[in-house]
Chains A and B, each alone.
Chain A
Amino acid sequence: MKFNVETQALPYSTIILHCLKYPSKGVFGLLIGHKKGDKVTVTGCIPLCHESTPLAPPLELATALVHGKFGASLVGVYFANANPSDTSLNMYAIRLADKITTVTSSPAILIQVMNERLVSDCDQDRLVAFEKDGDSWKETKTLFQGSNFLRALQTVIQKKLYRELADFENHLDNPEADFYNTNLSNKLVQIAELRS
């Protein structure tokens, strides 16, 4: 089965902001969305942590909390490697995706941020999606929605909104931080509407 993965503007921006907040580290997060036939639409994402080797306890907790909230909408995992030229798949991300597959009993997808493409002008897709094919992970098609919202993203980055993003690790350090990023998402939506 070959999926077409479409990442909506909001999760796309959040993932990029998460990377920008921790430029020197790898990041991890969960993807929320829905599947229709062979099309996967990612409608939201939850940043989890900013290290390349997340250990079991925080991941288990976060996934359990998110699963409790979103149930079967949990569709996969996104990650970025710490080293910009490293395009290998992170083992911990794969494990987490496998876990999600067993829990939601439908195949999870994996999205990798291509660090090399994270340049200041936002005009190309930086996400690459993977799906499990037998034992290995294969790249699948991503649907890129054009550059309209990317210009909005550029304003967001210039406003340094990525500093307001919080991931689950931030939340554990300080429970005031909201790892669902409700407020930030509202701001993002506002800015995008202003642009269009």
Chain B
Amino acid sequence: MVTTDWTQVSYEEGRQTLKKWRECGVRRSEEVVEIWEHVISRSPSSLGDEQWAVLEQVCIASLDAARVDLAQECIDLLHAQFPNSNRVLKLKGMQLEATEHFQKALDIYERLVEEDPNNNSYRKRKVAVLLAQGKRLDAIRAINEYLKIFLNDPEAWLQLSELYLLENDVPKSVHCLEECVLIQPLNSMYFRRLGDLRYTQGGADNVELARAYYERALKINPTDLRSQYGILLVRNPSGLLLKDFQSNNQIASTTKSPSEKKKAGLAAVDAIDNLVNRYQKISPKSNPESDGILNCLEAMKVTIGSK
């Protein structure tokens, strides 16, 4: 993997990177702090109005990277600029969270919600506090409450789905992800995960659904390696390839007619071909093990072909 040394980048590059991460919401807190400390903080004022957004970003990142001192600096600067801002108050609450003063943080969020009931980020923070305290069931309840009002928030549904998984409640988790699909039908990640979930659930119908979802995900994003593997898994005739590891799936082998089995076999070969294509393009320099995987795939193909 190629990694960049963020302490050495140019000012403009650092600024662009921060902006990119801010806009896509990636969580690379440590690196954000690095860019700030080594590059941007040399002259934050030359960012113009952007500096406040950057400060907010750095503040959150530094809390995530356990740099409470830096976060305090950012909050002080922001507070001097916007003395009455709720957004700064929220940062303050997050700082309390990071230092494990959960009750104080909750009080702040409580107040913020009261002041501005329409802003959903404060409600989300409350859920985050519950999660940090390890109160999973309370968190589930809180998210459900939240989703009664803001029911088109895919982020919340995704979180809820994960929480249900931790409680080992796959059907509910599936329900939550289906909501995500409804809201953002062009996001291949939701389809793929839904496929994963259905496959995890097991049973002929669910595996069939999983196949449909993987194919959809692959249609939206043709380079998605996970969906390619997913198709290989669900098309895998009678659990041939990974027979030892297949969970509770007898891959519908009992119900399928021979013609269908053959079709599934062909599809599996197709999937393997796609994967092989993909791996052949990888140079052994970056991934020395790709050859091994390639051999593995070829072997699978031969086994399927012979059946």
A residues sitting closer than 8 Å to B (CB atoms) are 23-24, 51-53, 55-58, 60-61, 63-65, 67-69, 83, 85-86, 91, 99, 102-103, 160, 163-166, 170-173, 175-180, 182-183
In the complex, chain B residues whose CB is within 8 Å of the CB of A164 = 1, 3
- CB of B225 within 8 A of CB of A172, answer yes
A23 to B289, CA, bound (A): 27
Which residues of A lie under 8 Å from residue B65 when comparing CB positions?
A: 23
**Contact across chains for A65 and B296 when beta carbons are under 8 A apart:** yes
Bound complex: CA of A24 vs CA of B60, how far in Å?
13
Cβ of B242 within 8 Å of any chain A Cβ, yes or no, is: yes
Q: What 19 new A-B contacts, CB under 8 Å, besides A55-B199, A58-B229, A179-B289?
A: A23-B64, A24-B64, A53-B162, A53-B166, A57-B199, A57-B226, A57-B230, A57-B233, A60-B242, A60-B246, A64-B244, A65-B293, A68-B296, A85-B134, A99-B247, A166-B1, A177-B287, A178-B287, A180-B289
Chain B residues contacting A179 (CB-CB under 8 Å) are 289
A52 partner residues in chain B, CB cutoff 8 A? 162, 166
Complex-state Cα separation, A162 to B26, whole angstroms: 18
Question: Which B residues form the contact surface with A (CB < 8 A)?
Answer: 1, 3, 27, 64-65, 131-132, 134, 162, 165-166, 168, 193, 195-197, 199-200, 225-226, 229-230, 233, 241-242, 244-247, 278-279, 282, 286-290, 292-293, 296
Contact of B245 with A103 in the complex, beta carbons under 8 Å: yes
Chain B residue numbers with a CB within 8 Å of A85 are 134
Which residues of A lie under 8 Å from residue B225 when comparing CB positions?
Answer: 172-173, 175
Q: Is the CB of B134 within 8 A of A86?
A: yes
Taking a contact as CB atoms under 8 Å apart, the answer to whether B247 and A60 are in contact is yes
Ordered by A's residue number, 27 sampled pairs between the chains whose C-beta atoms are within 8 Å are: A24-B64, A51-B162, A52-B162, A53-B165, A53-B166, A55-B193, A55-B199, A56-B247, A57-B196, A57-B199, A57-B230, A60-B245, A60-B246, A83-B134, A102-B244, A163-B3, A172-B225, A173-B225, A175-B225, A175-B282, A175-B287, A177-B1, A177-B287, A178-B287, A178-B290, A182-B288, A183-B288
Q: In the complex, how many residue pairs between chain A and chain B have their CB atoms under 8 Å apart?
A: 101
Instruction: State A171–B290 Cα separation when bound (angstroms).
Output: 10
Q: Are A176 and B282 in touch, CB under 8 angstroms?
A: yes
Flag if A103 contacts B287 (CB, 8 Å): no
Instruction: Point out the residues of chain A lying under 8 angstroms from B166, CB to CB.
Output: 52-53
- Complex Cα gap A112–B80 (Å): 45
For the complex of A and B, the 3 pairs showing the least CB-CB separation, nearest first, are A53-B165, A55-B196, A178-B287
CB-CB nearest in chain A for B290:
A175
The complex places the Cα of A177 from the Cα of B287 at a distance, in Å, of 6
- Report the minimal beta-carbon distance from A148 to chain B, rounded to whole angstroms: 27
A178 touches B233 (CB 8 A): no
- Chain A residues with CB under 8 A of B287: 171, 175-178
Pick from B197, B233, B245 the residue with the most CB of A within 10 Å.
Answer: B245
Q: Which residues of A contact B200 (CB under 8 A)?
A: 55-57
Give the docked Cα–Cα distance between A166 and B134 (Å).
Answer: 28
Q: Which residue among A52, A56, A69, A177 has the maximum number of chain B CB atoms within 10 Å of its CB?
A: A56
Structural contact, A61 and B229, CB atoms closer than 8 A: yes
Q: Which of A83, A91, A103, A170 contacts B244 (CB 8 A)?
A: A103
**Shortest distance in angstroms between B211's beta carbon and chain A's nearest beta carbon?**
12
Inter-chain contact A63/B245, CB cutoff 8 Å:
yes
Q: Which residue of B lies closest to A180 (CB)?
A: B289
Least Cβ–Cβ distance between B11 and chain A, in angstroms: 21
* Residue ID in chain A nearest B193 by CB atoms: A55
In the complex where A64-B244, A68-B296 touch, is A24 in contact with B27 (Cβ < 8 A)? Answer: yes
Give CA–CA (A103, B243) in the complex, Å: 10
* Nearest A residue (CB) for B225: A172
A172 to B275, CA, bound (A): 11
